[in-house]
Structures are given as C-alpha cells and as structure tokens.
Structure 1
Amino acid sequence: AEEKLCPDGLLFDDGNPSHERCDTPVNVDCGDRDQLQEPKSTEGCPRANGFFRHPDGEVCDKFVNCIDGVPNEMPCPPGLIYDDEASTCAWASETNRKCVQLKRDALEDGFSCPEGEVMGPNGRTLPHPTFAHPDDCQKFYICRNGVEPQYGSCPAGMVYNEETFKCDEPDNVPGW
C-alpha cells in the first residue's frame, strides 16, 4: 500500500470508504489517529491550508484563510468574532475567546447601535433590532446582528411603532 498525505493543514476523512477526501480539521473525526505531518508554515499561515486566528490578537472580527500557504484576511459578519475551536465566526457569548470591545460603527447622524440585547413583544431577543428616529416618525434605525446600524423608513402614510418595532398605521401608534 502506498502512503499518501493530505495537503498540509487538511486531514484525511475516512468516514466514507467510497472516496478519498481531505478536509478541514473541524469536519474530520480522526478517532485514534493523532499524528499530523510537520507544518509547512509561511508568513501569515501556521499551516499551508486552513482557517486561523488573525495575527493581531486584538483583532477578533477577522480571520485568515490560508490556501496553499497564501494568507487571505477575511471578515466575520457584523457582531461575530472568530472562534478558533470551531474554525468559524460566532457570537462572543458562544466562544471561549475573550476580546476587547468590538468597535461600533456610527451613521452620519451619529447613531450607533446600543449595547445589549433587545427583547421583542413576544419576549424573544430581536436579531436585528430597530429603533425610532429622534426627529422623523416615518424613519427608524435597523441594527443588523445588533451592531451594524442602517437607516430604515416606513412606506408613505405609515409611522414607526416603538412598541411593536414595526411600521404601523398612525392610529395604532401611542402618542401619534
């Protein structure tokens, strides 16, 4: 039998005997196999292939995707940080990683998404909470993933309802 090696950073997945496949470590159950080949590291890549923590330990919302020893810096979606153990981006509360506060973007008018979760009328956390505009009741702000602010506006004749977090008929909005 001929011994073959997967490209550095990838592991052999023997879960399906009908095809030989190399995959990222998070997708492979090695069982008792615990030996890895010597790493072929390059600048920015601890191994030739795989997903790795950003070289600047303070940068939590980006990671490096190494392909054949070439590092590619990738952003996590807004509000998420890179989780080494899962090799993916996740909510900070779901990782063991301790990061300094993520920077919060602000819109031209100065609005930035507030800290903490926002509960909807049904008692569930809103993934993309909305907030009333201070001067225009037809407008509101959307916080994508709770951290990325965007402008929103209601259709003509509708106003933003702070109790339901939606556009509504003016008659249904308290104080209108």
Structure 2
Amino acid sequence: MTRVCLVVVLAIAAVASGAFKCPKDNGEFEDPVQCDMYYKCIDGVATQMLCPDGLVFDPFNRKINKCDHIFNVECGDRLELQPPQPSKNCPRRNGFFAHPDPSVCDVFYNCIDGESIKIPCTTGLHFDEYTGTCVWPDSAGRQGCGKVGNKLADGFECPKEVQHDNRDMPVDHPKYAHPEDCQKFYICLSGVTPREQGCSEGTVYNDVLQKCDDPKNVPGCEDWYKEDAAKP
C-alpha cells in the first residue's frame, strides 16, 4: 500500500512539473500559487521542490538556498502553503512563533526542524509575529498582554505609586529590589505587569543605581556569594 501511495505522489509531482514551463533553461523559479513551492530547472526540465515547512521561496534571494522566513518574503498572490507539520510550541517546523498563551507577549519560540527554543524579549518589548522581532507594545498591537498574572507567585504586585527618575520624569518600566534575594529584582512593564529578573552570577541588584552591581557596592549584600564560595 505504501509503495502504491509513493507511486501516486511521484506521478502527481511529475504531472505538476510537466505543466510548469521553465522561464529559463536553468535556475529556480517560484510556483504561481504556492509560496513554499518552487521549481528547479535544469536544461529546460522542471523538478517540483518544497521549502522546509514554515519557510517560503524568495525568487529575489541571491543566496543558493532561497527559502526564507515568511516575514522576509513578499508572497503576493502566492497564498497557498503546504500542510503544517506541528510539534510542541511549533505550529510549523520552522519559524518564529508567539507564546501559546496570548497573555504572554514578551516571549516567543524559535523553531528549527520542529525543535523549539524559548526566547524572551528585551524588557518592555513584545513579540511581533509579522516581523519576527520584539518591538514596542504599541507597534506590536497585541491584545490582552499582561492581563493574566499581574501578581507573581511570591505575592509581588507592582506598586501603584509612579516611580520617577533623577530628572523627575515618570519611569516607563520601574524596577524594585527583591526583599530576600540579592541577586533578583522585579521589573514592572508599563508600571503594571510584574516580571522577576535576575543578575548574572557574581553580581547583585543595586536598588540605588537600578542595575546589577558588585556586591561590595550594595549594603547588606556584600557577603551574598561568600557562603557559596565556602562550600566544598
């Protein structure tokens, strides 16, 4: 049965390739209706090809591999795509995709051959599916961000009082020291949505300077790493 199906698929591909007329004897050319399909022409004979799932064919790409992320390619009227091959956190095998929870806008997944890598946006930014990058929230235009989870598991909520900088200007994304852990701190996105952050190993959060710093510069945190260093 499998062998019969393979013959049928090859036959369909052969018919499709036969219907395509190569614009030039040699080269790679886009399918007129499917954005991730293209034809490889050798001596005027066309062979039907598919980009990896999630990527589409860019006829203007000068690289040898002309398959690229969909946000980099103008498909025009070539709106059809191959059936998706989803996996965990990956609607398709390749591409950049938003977090499945619509309220989580500052995290996205980079999918490569069906394997996902979780990537956080820079603090204060949201992932934009149409550009594949993290942008300011008003540019991303995503709805419902941060409406769930405005209170962290440890009970922290963003203070209602507006924080001001040394020029007496309101701080867009204020930061607050963790009450018990010198290495951690909180950041309130747009002043309302809390996120727990951490300093790199060997540094602690300096609430006065609003940044990670050497422990010796932060009263009460001078010995934060000395206990770890004493362990065998």
Q: Give the structure-1-normalised TM-score.
A: 0.59
Unaligned runs of 5+ in 1: 105-109, 130-142, 154-176
Counting helix residues as a fraction of each chain, which structure ranks higher?
Answer: 2
Distance 1:119 1:30, change over 3 A: farther
What is the DSSP-based 3-state SS (H/G/I as helix, E as strand, rest coil) of the residue aligned with 2:138?
A: helix
Q: How many residues align?
A: 143
Find the partner of 1:50 among 71, 84, 95: 95
Question: Highest Rg: 1 or 2?
Answer: 2
- 1:14 matched residue in structure 2: 59
What letter corresponds to residue 66 of structure 1 in structure 2?
Answer: C
Partners of 2:124 and 2:173 within 8 A in 1: no
Structure 1 residue aligned with 2:110: 65
- Give the 5 Å matches for 1:17-166: 19-101=64-146, 151=207, 153=209
Residue 96 of structure 1 deviates from its aligned partner by: 2.0
1:32 maps to a residue whose letter is D
Q: Distance in 1 between matches of 2:131 and 2:51?
A: 21
TM-score normalised by the chain length of structure 2: 0.46
CA distance in 2, matches of 1:12, 1:115: 51
Does the CA-based 8 Å contact 1:13-1:20 persist in structure 2?
A: no
Native 8 Å contact 2:104 2:146 kept in 1: no
Residue identity over aligned pairs, in percent, reads 40
The aligned residue for residue 213 of structure 2 is: none
Structure 1 distance, partners of 2:142, 2:117, is 22
Q: Which runs of 5+ in 2 are unaligned?
A: 1-45, 151-155, 175-186, 198-204, 210-232
- Offset, 1:114: 8.3
